[in-house]
Chain A
Amino acid sequence: MTTTSTPPPAGAGPGAAPVPSAGAAPDRTVAIITGAPEPHPTTGRTFAAMLAREFRVLGRNAPSTFVRSVVQPLLWVFVFTYVMPKIGAAGVFEAGAARGGGATTFSTILLPGLMASMLLMQGILGTTFPLVMEFSWQRTIEDRALAPVPLSVLAFEKIVAGAFQAFVGALIVIPIVLYVHASGQSPHAHVTNWFLLALILVAASMLTAALGLLLGTLMDPRKMQMLFAVILLPATMLGCVYYPWSALHSIRWLQIAVLFNPMVYMSEGLRAVLTPGVGHLAMWAILLVLIGGAAVIGYLGTRTFRRRVLN
């Protein structure tokens, strides 16, 4: 069915002078169109503005974000490297630690492990939760989706914002592990390669945020609590956080099974560059999974994101 019309009277175009009509325009709206600066959107500017928006929100929520990033590692370290050694219950962990590579403290194992754990936790929480909110009944994501960039740029921006939170979350762990422990329980850590450390941290942050994007666009918001039971907890417990991968050799099937857990490559990667006294996975495997995984999961997440935004 087709309808056509002749154009309206000349001069009614958006660029034309205001059309006089019965009941002249209230003064207050006169400036709405004519007074605006000419917009010049570019992908770079829009991307930067979107990131600026994330940082404005992060800044506003800084206290709660900070608490979220500090409490978990602090409690872990406090219980396992202060309380347990003090009450003489740390032997079992030390035995595990010793398996990993000679005389070493549990805090040495825990430093890279907790950093990896926080990378995952913050990367996923920082990406998935906001997304699930934005996709929920009011679909506030449409606010950002109408910005003049392809939706893939918006998806990538979500990954970058989540990765930033993961990165900071991992850094917060360092002083906590270094300074909270019983005497004699300090970690044996030094950076072997700053470039590799930065590369691993950035790649791991991007990977966890990409996972967060994928989960946030796939998960049913009503089943969010499953996130902890099905993803975060198993990934952490079986992610070589509390023991090095090499120590699993006595449970061979598990040692192989955990290789499907991307978390393992984060823990082991950080172990390689921070606590070289403990054995670790081959660096090529670590870099392959972290960088390749970030690329593949990022691509998949961007696709599911597009599919969720568009109807």
Chain B
Amino acid sequence: MTESTVQAPPASPAPPRPGAAIRTEDLRKTYTTSRGNVDAVRGVSLDVAPGEFFGLLGPNGAGKSTTIGMLTTLIVPTGGRAWVSGIDVAADPVGVKRTIGVVPQNNTLDMQLSVAENLEFRSRFFGLSRRDALRRADQLLTAFGLTDRSRAMATDPSGGQARRLMIARALVHRPDVLFLDEPTAGLDPQTRVNLWDTLRALHDEGQTILLTTHYMEEAEALCDRVAVVDHGLVLAAGTVDELKQGAGADTVITVRYDGDAAALGALAALGGRPGVSKVETDRDQVRVFAQDPGQVLGELISAGSRAGLTVRDAAQLKPSLETVFLTLTGRDYRE
């Protein structure tokens, strides 16, 4: 997958590409509230191939969960179209539900049932006989290391176990596409890394996975391709390497000064320097986006002192998804 293009021209409306696991065209969701319309998703077009591990990366409120909600039929789009395994989500939601497994962000385990029963009944919902369902539940309990908790009520397991159970539950019917909405949010680092191993193993078995995350390192560690999402729009998409070489190829140097903030304007002159693509001033700090960071930091210090500013803090971010995000949105990821 080295030929992916970032921000290709809009495709004309067309039926889903044969074999695409997920395809969306200008998918939109606008909520009407008492305080006016809120655009949660403002036209997302994606194309995920079978077997891909695809990540939607963006901060909270970017529209990731709404996008997953529409692809999994529980949120009704207000515009655009979407297909999962070639099935139109709006026209045939039942057909889509047959082919997908979903791990939502919140714990939706059936709290009235035991751990094993959660798997047994989900299997039966998908048409397995009671005997097959029990066998399938056993198989998944073993695979996900939950056998010793099988009789516990679903309210009992720890956060990591509950998440594993939800993934197991999403897999009972061999879904074509597995959706994971922030699967590691709120988990401790050890549990998170274990979960990554499980997801990698699934991917190695050929499972198509769409995952949302607000962890840069999670997207880098797991995903074949990533779409950076913010304010309901896809800002860029491609492999992690492509994104770093493309929009976010710059190293970002951030310097925080003590002194008269008005003097920061003097530093904007650095923008004309070769190799510097952008200079931003923000309150007491200056952010320089540079292909070749070489002397930039030194000049920021000396130019600052000429303007009567002293450096309080300086940081340099090498090209990463974080700098991609900064370059595309002009704001810190974790604001």
A250 within 8 A of B: no
A8-B76 contact, Cβ under 8 Å, with A18-B206, A40-B127: no
Asked if residues A36 and B136 are in contact (CB atoms below 8 Å), the reply is: yes
Which A residues are in CB contact (< 8 Å) with B51? Answer: 8, 11-14, 16, 19
Chain A nearest CB: distance from B133 CB in Å? 8
Q: With A36-B173, A311-B74 in contact, do A8 and B49 touch (Cβ < 8 Å)? A: yes
Does the CB pair B124–A5 fall under 8 Å?
Answer: no
Question: Contacting chain B: which of A66-74, A115-123, A135-143, A168-176?
Answer: A135-143
Q: How far is it, in angstroms, between the C-alpha of A25 and the C-alpha of B205 when the chains are bound?
A: 8
**For residue A40, which residue of chain B has the nearest CB?**
B127
Binary contact track A140-156/B, C-beta < 8 Å → 1, others 0: 11111111111000000
A143 touches B112 (CB 8 A): no
Contact B204 A36 (CB under 8 A): no
Name the contact of A310 in the complex, choosing from B6, B75, B111, B203 (C-beta under 8 A): B75
Interface size class of A (residues with CB under 8 A): 35 or more
Q: B108 contacts A147, CB within 8 Å?
A: no
* A138–B143 CB distance below 8 A: no
Find out whether the CB atom of A21 lies under 8 angstroms from the CB atom of B121.
no
Complex contact B7–A142 (CB within 8 A)? no
Stretch at the interface among A43-51, A83-91, A253-261, A263-271: A43-51
In the complex, whether A63 has a CB less than 8 A from a CB of chain B is: no
Cα distance A31–B201 when bound, in Å? Answer: 11
Q: Which chain B residues in 52-109 approach chain A with CB under 8 Å?
A: 52, 69, 72-76, 93-94, 97-98, 100, 102, 104, 106-109
Stretch at the interface among A53-61, A213-221, A226-234, A294-302: A53-61
B205 in complex: contacting residue of A1, A2, A33, CB < 8 Å: A33
Number of A-B residue pairs with CB-CB distance less than 8 Å in the complex they form: 228
Q: Which of B4, B132, B207 contacts A37 (CB 8 A)?
A: B132
CB-CB under 8 A for A5 and B207, given A56-B117, A148-B97, A311-B76: no
Q: Are B76 and A3 in contact (CB under 8 A)?
A: no
- In the complex the two chains form, is A147's CB within 8 Å of B74's CB? no
Residues on B with C-beta less than 8 A from A56 are: 113, 117, 121
Instruction: Tell me the interface secondary structure of chain B in the complex.
Output: mixed
Smallest CB–CB gap between B225 and chain A, Å?
6
- Residue in A closest to B3 when the chains form the complex, CB atoms: A6
- Tell me if A225 is interfacial: C-beta within 8 Å of chain B: no
Contacts of A15 in B (CB 8 A): 206
Residues of B within 8 A of A7 (CB): 19, 49-50
- Do A140 and B75 touch (CB < 8 A)? no
Q: How many residues of B contact A (CB 8 A)?
A: 89
B74 / chain A contacts, CB cutoff of 8 Å = 142, 145-146, 309-311
In the complex, A251 has a CB within 8 A of chain B: no
Q: Are A26 and B94 in contact (CB under 8 A)?
A: no
Residues from chain B with a CB closer than 8 A to the CB of A60 are 112
Q: How many angstroms between the C-alpha atoms of A32 and B204 in the bound complex? A: 12
Which residues 299-321 of B sit at the A interface, judged by CB distance below 8 A? none
Question: A30 near B: Cβ within 8 Å?
Answer: yes
Tell me whether B201 and A142 are in contact (CB under 8 A): no
The answer for the CA separation of A309 and B69 in the assembled complex, in Å, is: 11
Distance of A143 Cα from B171 Cα, bound (Å): 13
Q: Which residues of A contact B (CB under 8 A)?
A: 1-9, 11-21, 23-26, 28-42, 45-46, 49-50, 52-53, 56-57, 60, 130, 137-150, 309-311
23 A-B Cβ contacts within 8 A? Answer: A4-B47, A5-B5, A6-B3, A12-B52, A12-B206, A13-B206, A14-B50, A14-B207, A17-B206, A19-B51, A29-B201, A29-B205, A30-B201, A32-B202, A36-B173, A37-B135, A39-B123, A140-B110, A143-B169, A146-B73, A146-B97, A147-B126, A311-B76
Given contacts A14-B51, A35-B139, 11 further A-B contacts (CB under 8 A): A1-B235, A8-B52, A18-B204, A23-B200, A32-B202, A41-B127, A41-B173, A45-B124, A53-B121, A143-B122, A148-B127
